[in-house]
A and B are shown apart, each in its own frame.
Chain A
């Protein structure tokens, strides 16, 4: 079965389906919109997609049950979760249950298109690995240090001495976005919240990528070197390319949602 469509979009609101369809079409992508997860699973049995966008709060099979079904059916198509009930719990649960990203509603055209872009890039990376072609060329692993923990495939955190944690972006996240031109960081003393946006990366394809924080806490230091030299991020994402030093607010609780950084990723 060849993939006719690029994206499977599941949402119980027609207007969302239409909006996403419109945006994706403008980018030259084909979208298969369905109004519930049951129909989506039906479609998945006969079709292949590069990316799935899925709402969380739906009647019948909801977003989390859908993720479980995919896991059971061993369908490895990357999923981006979308929800109007954008709580920290929903965000974190999505990422720990296998979704690659989380977009709260309402989103702007820029937000959804950058997310779709990341999703498709992720999907193609995945395909490259499974098909084993061009391995050395496009996938360059940067090994993640053993004690680090990550939220999904997006961000990492490492508990340093005296209750301070460092926060940064994983090499995989940096892999699926283009070259970073500008990094928009939060202010010192600001609170970052696990699963919420804590930085924006502007890339050379004029997309702005939202970066989700791996834990909650108060920012005590920012990596000012990054503003002058965004390349540092990709060069050394786990050491020199850190974003923030924070005092975590509840690391014991939040660690449950994090996985060891070096564990298998795809």
Chain B
């Protein structure tokens, strides 16, 4: 029952509230009661003085009837329980109760022991000493008694009656008893009110605290617990919705970033696992396929040599030998793929490569009744490529396009053209080093398949990393740090912490600080630290100006690729073809284009089709 953090907090805060309000109420009741009582006391005191003064003259004149009269009149006041005057010997001379006149007061009784506690009586008493509160019997209401000693004065011993001699100090005592029933009622009423207030306050505060704890603690904690359960069952895509910026919010944020990293790690593990099995598969395939291929290749090349006089047969055999050699390269590239092989480049006519690729898939296209619109620029310069790999690229793209077309009226467009492009948004950082020559490229986190540049960032006491977009002029950086103060950002090398800040230089666009790093052998790359500012400068690339590229486009009017899938299509083993594909095709293509210092982009709209655009640099 007490295992929930919310309940524990509520109980703790509730207990504190009860104690504080309880103590407050107790003292409030106490002081209220005292106030009421002291009011009653001063009232009684004044009353006693009033009686003493009003009876003074009738006393001097020894007119006892008049004195009786005054005492009885005042005694009719409902609050007054009893008024009596007794002389020094304790004999009651006047009283509101006629029956007690002439009787002796018990010296041990309440009204006497103020003076007569010791055997020698006191003559002067303070106000509180003259007062007493008592009950006649336990069930009756409280009574407040106040005694008022009547002192001897000159007028007394000089009076005509000569009752009192001069040497006496105290002549008698006026004793008034007041019923405290009203005061007690008032006290208990205020007591009741205080307790009622305390209960209401405690209840209200408890409810408010409960609500707050539920909103501020219980709900976020429940969300966090739910998230950990989701992660526990393997749902690494679960993210906690924004929980604000307090500690629990930060916990949620770091939890989200943890799951994201876990998910990435799992994907990578999964991929490397796939890679390993692919390697084994490749070994098996290579061995198994190469043996029959050896039979084909040796016999056909042998026949080719022996049929040099028969031109018709010779031509056909040449095709067999050529295509078997291509199969050999394909098997080898399968092996090489798992080994990240390097292309064998030479100057080639890209249009010829495209035409060769088309001739391979032509049959397949006409079977599916897909029209092919070929628009090749015959004036293209030769470019340095591995023609086998390039042919593979176009065969794969054409097959993919054909696969994407489901219904009739399928159309694939393939075109080549020479274009000039600004380096901005194209040039890409392949290597980056800090002044101590530490490699800043991060292969684990990629943007569009390209390794990012990892730098360490300090901002307002926070420390984290930014994975910079390696493409010049594109700003798809990944921040894993929250930048609060956009002006005070310090960038350094994640390995050795050496500063990457450019001293005495500020961004020409926004005035923020600027960091830079070397991109060997292409000089320095500079960028503004402000995440909102887009300023970047790469002098070596800017100075080179626009570059010529061969632009190759393959587009289809097939099903298209959903927006969510677009960023992933170049990742190894990402396939939309299910059992039909290996998911390697586009990853291999990406790798080949990258090895040729080229760039491949994809644009797609679901239902309308997909266009792959390749830019290959033309040597100057």
* Cβ A84 vs Cβ B342 within 8 A: no
* Cβ B345 vs Cβ A189 within 8 A: yes
Which stretch in A12-20, A120-128, A151-159, A172-180 binds the other chain?
A12-20
Q: Which of B289, B298, B328, B335 contacts A109 (CB 8 A)?
A: B298
Q: Which of A13, A23, A104, A105 contacts B302 (CB 8 A)?
A: A23
CB distance from B301 to the nearest CB of A (A): 4
By a CB distance below 8 angstroms, the chain B residues around A22 are: 298-299, 302
* Cβ A107 vs Cβ B345 within 8 A: no
User: How many residues of A are counted as interface, with CB atoms below 8 angstroms from the partner's CB atoms?
Assistant: 30
By a CB distance below 8 angstroms, the chain A residues around B344 are: 186, 190-191
Write the chain A residue with the least CB distance to B305.
Answer: A109
Write the chain B residue with the least CB distance to A11.
Answer: B291
By a CB distance below 8 angstroms, the chain B residues around A19 are: 294-295, 298-299, 302
* Cβ B302 vs Cβ A106 within 8 A: no
- Given A57-B287, A108-B321, A110-B301, A190 and B345 contact (CB-CB distance below 8 Å): yes
CB distance from A189 to the nearest CB of B (A): 7
* Cβ A15 vs Cβ B292 within 8 A: yes
B373-392 interface code vs A (CB 8 A; 1 in, 0 out): 00000000000100000000
CB distance from B318 to the nearest CB of A (A): 12
Contacts of A68-124 to chain B: CB distance below 8 A: 83-88, 104-110, 112
Q: Which of A16, A26, A186 contacts B294 (CB 8 A)?
A: A16
> Within 8 Å of chain A (Cβ to Cβ): is B283?
yes
> Within 8 Å of chain A (Cβ to Cβ): is B297?
yes
> Within 8 Å of chain A (Cβ to Cβ): is B426?
no
A8-47 interface code vs B (CB 8 A; 1 in, 0 out): 0000010110111011001000000000000000000000
- Given A19-B295, A187-B346, A189-B345, A84 and B302 contact (CB-CB distance below 8 Å): no
Contacts of B276-331 to chain A: CB distance below 8 A: 283, 286-299, 301-302, 304-305, 321, 324-325, 328
Q: Which of A16, A85, A109 contacts B286 (CB 8 A)?
A: A85
> Within 8 Å of chain B (Cβ to Cβ): is A193?
yes
Write the chain A residue with the least CB distance to B306.
Answer: A26
- Give complex CA distance A77, B417 in Å: 58
* Cβ B290 vs Cβ A105 within 8 A: yes
> Within 8 Å of chain A (Cβ to Cβ): is B371?
no
* Cβ B301 vs Cβ A84 within 8 A: no
Write the chain A residue with the least CB distance to B295.
Answer: A15
By a CB distance below 8 angstroms, the chain B residues around A187 are: 345-347, 384
* Cβ B298 vs Cβ A86 within 8 A: no
- Give complex CA distance A247, B347 in Å: 22
* Cβ B291 vs Cβ A105 within 8 A: yes
* Cβ A86 vs Cβ B295 within 8 A: no
* Cβ A16 vs Cβ B295 within 8 A: yes
> Within 8 Å of chain A (Cβ to Cβ): is B332?
yes
Write the chain A residue with the least CB distance to B342.
Answer: A191
For the A-B complex, the count of residue pairs with Cβ-Cβ distances under 8 Å equals: 91
Write the chain A residue with the least CB distance to B343.
Answer: A191
* Cβ B298 vs Cβ A106 within 8 A: yes
- Give complex CA distance A190, B341 in Å: 12
CB distance from B578 to the nearest CB of A (A): 30
By a CB distance below 8 angstroms, the chain B residues around A57 are: 287
* Cβ A106 vs Cβ B345 within 8 A: no
CB distance from A66 to the nearest CB of B (A): 17
* Cβ A84 vs Cβ B332 within 8 A: no
By a CB distance below 8 angstroms, the chain A residues around B291 are: 13, 15-16, 84, 105-106
A225-260 interface code vs B (CB 8 A; 1 in, 0 out): 000000000000000000000000000000000000
CB distance from B77 to the nearest CB of A (A): 118
By a CB distance below 8 angstroms, the chain A residues around B339 are: 87-88
- Given A106-B328, A108-B321, A84 and B294 contact (CB-CB distance below 8 Å): yes
* Cβ A87 vs Cβ B335 within 8 A: yes
- Give complex CA distance A110, B328 in Å: 15
- Give complex CA distance A108, B342 in Å: 23
- Give complex CA distance A13, B293 in Å: 12
* Cβ A84 vs Cβ B287 within 8 A: yes
CB distance from A159 to the nearest CB of B (A): 21
- Given A16-B291, A19-B295, A108 and B301 contact (CB-CB distance below 8 Å): yes
Write the chain B residue with the least CB distance to A112.
Answer: B298
- Give complex CA distance A105, B342 in Å: 20
Write the chain A residue with the least CB distance to B325.
Answer: A108
* Cβ B298 vs Cβ A108 within 8 A: yes
- Give complex CA distance A26, B298 in Å: 13
Instruction: Tell which of B287, B288, B332, B345 has the most Cβ of chain A within 10 Å.
Output: B287
CB distance from B290 to the nearest CB of A (A): 3
- Give complex CA distance A109, B296 in Å: 10
By a CB distance below 8 angstroms, the chain A residues around B290 are: 84-86, 104-106
CB distance from A204 to the nearest CB of B (A): 18
Write the chain B residue with the least CB distance to A187.
Answer: B346
- Give complex CA distance A186, B343 in Å: 12
* Cβ B294 vs Cβ A107 within 8 A: yes
* Cβ B297 vs Cβ A108 within 8 A: yes
- Give complex CA distance A109, B288 in Å: 20
Instruction: Tell which of B283, B286, B288, B293 has the most Cβ of chain A within 10 Å.
Output: B286
* Cβ B297 vs Cβ A193 within 8 A: no
By a CB distance below 8 angstroms, the chain B residues around A16 are: 291, 294-295
- Given A22-B302, A23-B302, A193-B342, A106 and B294 contact (CB-CB distance below 8 Å): yes
Write the chain B residue with the least CB distance to A84.
Answer: B290
* Cβ A107 vs Cβ B287 within 8 A: no
- Give complex CA distance A137, B537 in Å: 69
- Given A15-B294, A19-B298, A86-B332, A106 and B324 contact (CB-CB distance below 8 Å): yes
Can you report 10 residue pairs joining A to B where beta carbons are below 8 Å apart? A18-B295, A22-B298, A22-B302, A57-B287, A85-B283, A86-B290, A106-B293, A108-B297, A109-B301, A187-B345
What 5 A-B pairs are tightest by C-beta distance, nearest first?
A84-B290, A191-B342, A109-B301, A106-B293, A106-B294
Q: Which residues of chain A have a CB within 8 Å of any CB of chain B?
A: 13, 15-16, 18-20, 22-23, 26, 57, 83-88, 104-110, 112, 186-187, 189-191, 193
